[in-house]
Copies of this chain bind each other. A is one copy, B any other.
Amino acid sequence: MSDLPSRVAIFEEGPREGFQTGPSVPTADKVRLIDALAGTGLAQIDCTSFVDRRWVPQMADAEAVAASVRARPGVRLVSLWLNAAGFLRALATPLDPAPMVLCSVSDALARANNGCSAAELVRKQGRLVALYREHGLRLEAAHVSAAFGCHVEGRIDAGKTLATLESLLQVCLEHGGLPEIVYFSDTVGAATPESVTELVVRARSRWPEQAFALHLHDTRGMGLANAYAGLRLGVTRFDASIGGMGGCPFAGNVGAAGNVCTEDLALMCEEMGVATGLDLGALAECARMAEAIVGRPLPGRLMKVGRLGRGAATTA
């Protein structure tokens, strides 16, 4: 009776989102986690971000991480940047460049994260798209931050999100072409299953040829419910974070509370017959490793409760 997709891709964001807040983590620990994650069946791992180290000292070792991680067939090791300078730094490393643009539906979030208004941030993406083109690279992803709301503006209406995306896609078109996929990012965890449904349905109606993905946070415990809403609509690509890393939802860190947990999302998918290609036991091991590295409990459940099994609960 299920009309869920038969297969989804879960992309790992933990090493970037998980290590960009809180105390800095030794480079060797980051590399160790990334290498372990690369053995779990993940097709893409976001390893680091090439951002200004004065603002994000936790990512000051981006080049060192990029130089140390082990390439593995079938696993794409990527990174994030926010501007041309970051892109050029990334391009000089062995990591695979995944050309992206971003916008923020929240003006407050754009000013806090990108130092300019939301409208200016959209305009700035034109230079990035042109730069990708100069390097013979095709734009892959467009990220729509605060797609469902933010901690300053509260809930954001889908109409505003679509209007922001419209202006971003226009800039992309003018400078080189449309992205292969658009991510709706629930940056602070403001979405509900119904707001996910509304936004995806309306976006598809507006751009029927465009692929959409979800980048969800579990700030308010609705992460998997929101993912389920996406699955019901046939969304087949999700960002997630091992152990649910990415800020600490238990510290009132609303702005950066944890991503939806990779292994818990994978478990839900697999148990509903949606193939992920992921090794749940290996992911649970990685989650325990991540927990040991950050030195505090992470919200992921699978690593603690294991899978249901005959005879006893297994340890995943």
Contact = CB atoms under 8 A, between A and B. Distances in A.
Interface in A204-240: 218-225, 227-229
A135 interface: no
Contact of A305 (B225, B254, B304): B254
Interface string A188-206: 1110111101100100000
A152 interface: yes
Contact of A304 (B155, B194, B252): B252
A54 interface: no
B272 A219 contact: no
Given A220-B264, A220-B301, A249-B304, A309 B154 contact: yes
Contacts of A305: 189, 219-220, 249, 252, 254, 257
A257 B306 CA distance: 12
Contacts of A313: 151, 252, 254
Contacts of A197: 1
A172 B313 CA distance: 33
B154 A268 contact: no
A264 B220 CA distance: 7
Contacts of A157: none
Contact of A224 (B150, B224, B308, B312): B224
A301 B1 contact: no
A265 to B, nearest CB: 9
A171 interface: no
Nearest to A2: B194
Interface in A262-316: 264, 267-268, 271-273, 297, 299-302, 304-306, 308-313
Contacts of A198: 1
Given A194-B2, A201-B1, A261-B221, A152 B228 contact: no
A310 B106 CA distance: 12
A272 B192 contact: yes
29 contacts: A1-B194, A1-B201, A2-B194, A4-B194, A150-B308, A151-B313, A152-B310, A192-B268, A193-B272, A194-B273, A195-B271, A195-B272, A218-B221, A220-B267, A221-B224, A221-B268, A221-B300, A225-B268, A249-B301, A249-B304, A249-B305, A250-B304, A252-B304, A252-B305, A252-B306, A252-B313, A254-B306, A254-B313, A257-B305
Interface of A: 1-2, 4, 149-155, 188-190, 192-195, 197-198, 201, 218-225, 227-229, 249-252, 254, 257, 261, 264, 267-268, 271-273, 297, 299-302, 304-306, 308-313
